[in-house]
Amino acid sequence: MDQAKTGRLIRALRQEQGLTQSQLAQRLGVSDKAVSKWERGGGSPDLSLLPLLASALAVDLESLLAGELAPQDTLGGTMKKTRFYVCPVCGNLIAAAGEAAVSCCGRPLQPLTPQAVGEEGLTVEASDGGLYVTSGHPMTKDHYISFVALLTGDSLTLRRTYPEWDLQLRLPASHGRLLWYCTRHGLFSRNI
């Protein structure tokens, strides 16, 4: 850890949060002199304080230790490149319009990679000015489609589905990319 870089980042993030050195120190249970010392690069926070400091500054621990925030590449304003993450522990679903460091239940998550459509297909029919989506996929507690998403150039429509319910839902009529996640087989995609 480069103390000078980390110190500059702590100062910039503290100011971004609208905190004084005293306010940050109070949140961490340290003196304002300690915060000042860190920001000048004259020392670094105790290891036990790092998670609390990262939380107070609204930054991930890796960026805090590196002393810099990773720049985000722009994706040209399209939602079609949205990435999906599913926690294997709690089933939490997270969508990000670009690169992201995502974690849940204390584990880092990798973006799901869509597969070609196999036996996990959905039936999509035009109905009443929208799309009617159904599937004969098993919808049991340990094997079901947990979400269906429609991505267009400027929007994401996401429908959460639940085990032991038939998969039947309506989506807006639109051309785009249809994605769905099977809890056993992963993410699937097809253009509509």
In the chain, at which residue ranges do the beta strands (DSSP E only) sit? Answer: 83-86, 93-96, 102-104, 107-109, 123-127, 130-134, 145-151, 156-160, 168-172, 177-182, 186-191
Task: Give a yes or no: residue 101 inside a domain.
Answer: no
Tokens of 65: 């230790």
Task: Give a yes or no: residue 74 inside a domain.
Answer: no
Residues 60, 69: contact at Cβ < 8 Å?
no
Mark whether 57 and 120 lie in a shared domain: no
Mark whether 55 and 119 lie in a shared domain: no
To the nearest whole number, what is the mean pLDDT of the chain?
87
Reported confidence tier of residue 119, pLDDT bands at 50, 70, 90: low
pLDDT in the model for residue 118:
57
d(CA 179, CA 151): 8
Residues 26, 14: contact at Cβ < 8 Å?
no
d(CA 116, CA 178): 12
Task: Give a yes or no: residue 155 inside a domain.
Answer: yes
Count of domains observed in the chain = 2
**Is the pLDDT confidence value at 76 over 80?**
no
Task: Give a yes or no: residue 56 inside a domain.
Answer: yes
Return the bridge partners of 149, or none: 158, 179
Task: Give a yes or no: residue 27 inside a domain.
Answer: yes
Q: What is the mean pLDDT of residues 40-45?
A: 90
Domain ranges, residue 52 = 3-66
pTM comes to 0.62
Task: Give a yes or no: residue 24 inside a domain.
Answer: yes
- The conformation of residue 117, written as its DSSP 8-state character, comes to P
d(CA 99, CA 59): 15
Amino acid letter for position 104: C
Helix axes 32-39, 3-16, angle to 10 degrees: 120
